Amino acid sequence: MYLGIDLGTSEVKVVLLDGQGNLAAVAGEALSVSRPQPGWSEQDPQAWWDATCTAIARLRDKAGAAFAEVRAIGLSGQMHGAVLLDADDRVLRPAILWNDLRSVAECEALTRAAPSLHQVAGNLAMPGFTAPKLLWVARHEPAVFAATRCVLLPKDYLRLRLTGDKVGDTSDASGTLWLDVAARDWSDTLLAACGLDRSHMPRLVEGPQAAGSLLPALAAEWGLSPDVIVAGGAGDGAASAIGIGAVAPGDGFLSLGTSGVMFVVDDHFRPNPDSALHTFCHALPGRWNQMSVMLAAASCLRWFCRLTSVDEASLLQEIAALDSQALAGAPLFLPYLSGERTPHNDPFAPGVFWGLTQAHDRAALGYAVLEGVSFGMVDGLDALRAAGSQVSKLSLVGGGARSPYWAQLLADALGLDIVTHVGSESGGALGAARLGWLADGGELASVCTRPPVKAVYQPDTTRHAALLPRLQRFRDIYRHRPPALTLTGQQP
């Protein structure tokens, strides 16, 4: 058995994978996000650990005696978060998350201080990345910065609690802006630009390498052997790729989770920061990937459901009942509830409903949300193609993969085949378990297979043509919006 732990923003998900690659059990525990000021996003690392232990207890109850047969554990997690530890490995402040916007000024400062940033890190400086967060802490919380002895990414804090070791992996480290992504090693130059050095960083391994073993006391508490391997693991995007079998150049997937990711595998380091694409190490040695990233995707649907007091399943039924005339007359929605990365790199981009009238009902607005996220994905696909990625079909993973209606809308908007797979909603947790299996000696060809196909959604050419003018208006709204406001209501 192999255990996968995925530390998401809204949930810790855990899965148990048997030696034939089948999911034996799944469990999870919800997480909440603290927003102490507009644009801030934080979580308490202790809450991650508590949720992990709760989810593991539920998984053990479901799996029964099979849980004791776990041989290795893989980790996946939300990227970019900054966990600051003192000399005694105590957490100094709440973790600043990937969707936190406070470090806009520090991005500009980092770009000036490190002229080689784009070439070495392969990415633009954006507030979501880890390095600008540390510059913000140095400026606004100097005592915390002075006490910081190690910076860990979220999943690697879980590893510390599992093994007692401070270890990271190259895919997750790619999202810090401290990694030489081509060399797959820390960059002394980029670290120095933030007042840090290698002593502040965890040891790096590749995703399928063994990175430690369970602490004996924890192993006894969970009913596992202390010889259980903990693999390097991966950031959530790379782990989802492993889970879906995207391991060869040209393989790709589309993830509809809290954020939205379009991910394509490459065998070379091909940065293209001008399009606000991310170029990271893949979870496998000798592989890289290009990603377009939306900061809000399925989270837009959750937001709208909370706003209108409806559950997602009921809303999707209402949307599916709309006729073509209602769809054509629906308002347009810009899904920039947390700013945007690809292709705009605009932390102040606002969410917008455009074209509202008294004739519009909840279903029409709900459709606009699904369509707006889909149009954001079209922008991401265009950026990937401009960077040289060849994309002909994409697997759909994440919570949004549960909706056949949304899958078909994505196929129609993108003009691509969209494929869903059995278990694809497990995403990063499944990939994490597979990385644990590889660390235990599993063969890539047999471990990282494509899960069975659940459905294939082919684009409807008539519907694609009908969406094009709405896509153009969607883009025009962003281009002609009024000047952006900062988080304090002032123009930047």
Annotated binding site: 79-80
Catalytic residue chosen out of the listed positions 6, 100, 236, 251 = 236
Residue 156 a catalytic site member? no
CA gap 7, 4 in Å, rounded: 10
Token duo for residue 375:
């149009």
Cross-strand bridge partners of residue 84: 151
Amino acid letter, 391: V
Annotated binding-site residue numbers for substrate: 79-80
Torsion of CA 23, 24, 29, 30, to 10 degrees: 30
Residue 33 near residue 51 (C-beta atoms within 8 A): no
Which DSSP state fits 202?
A: P
| Extended strands (E) in 267-309 | 278-281, 288-294
Secondary structure of 84-111 in HEC code, one letter for each residue? EECCCCCECCCEECCCCCCCHHHHHHHH
CA gap 114, 131 in Å, rounded: 12
Burial class (CB in 10 A: 0-12, 13-18, 19+), 283: buried
Residue 297 near residue 400 (C-beta atoms within 8 A): yes
Amino acid letter, 212: G
Residue 330 near residue 367 (C-beta atoms within 8 A): yes
What H or E segment, with its residue span, contains residue 378? Answer: helix 362-386
Residue positions annotated with a catalytic role: 236
